Amino acid sequence: MLKKTLLTTAVAAAGLVTLGQAQAADYTIDIEGQHAFVQFKINHLGYSYILGSFEDFSGEFSYDADDLDASSVDMEVQVNSLNTNHGERDRHILSSDFLNADEYPTATFTSTGFEPTGDNEGVVTGDLTLHGQTQEIEMPVTLMGEGEDPWGGYRAGFEGSTMLTLGDFGIDMSDFPEAMHELELYVTFEGIRQ
């Protein structure tokens, strides 16, 4: 399921949703100031939810409000940075039973398109590689805001979420209830214009 979480990287593609007034610009996702998060939620046996995050990731995006087709986003997640606040469970998720982080240490997302759906909203399409398998995904995204920061820089912030089916990435969930076969991936971040 963590591999699905890597899809969260795809959410980073939310940068494409930038529908503001800025012209084409390159942004680096701000991971230094704890202004970016890749998180997931998955059902636990039909009784409750497990919440988790990936704490080591990076990414960049470009966008042009007047030519969204020229926008792009790339993200990379270090799978071993998975954290569900329970060490034993984390080790199990990272094992060959699920994410197999030793063999597939990174998950990546590369956008291939963006479709506006409303003011400051759209759907990012891209290739998510997780557990050694690449699938095209779509993620609805929202531009949270953009503008100058107190330190003389310019920032843009986005969020997005999507549902991922773990079996699509070769993660065998057949021994678990159907409610556990999907997870929700949530990504939110600020980008700093370069």
**Domains, the chain:** 2-193 (2.40.128.110)
User: pTM for this structure?
Assistant: 0.84
CA atoms within a 13 Å half-sphere pointing along the CA-CB vector of 159: 7
pLDDT at 66: 73
pLDDT band at 67 (very low <50, low <70, confident <90, very high): confident
pLDDT tens digits, one per residue of 122-158: 899 999 999 999 999 999 999 998 899 999 999 989 9
Of the segments 16-30, 58-72, 178-192, which one has the largest average pLDDT value? 178-192
Question: Is the pLDDT score of 160 beyond 60?
Answer: yes
Q: What is the pLDDT of residue 24?
A: 60
Q: Is the pLDDT reported for residue 98 higher than 80?
A: yes
State the CB neighbour count (10 A cutoff) for residue 126: 27
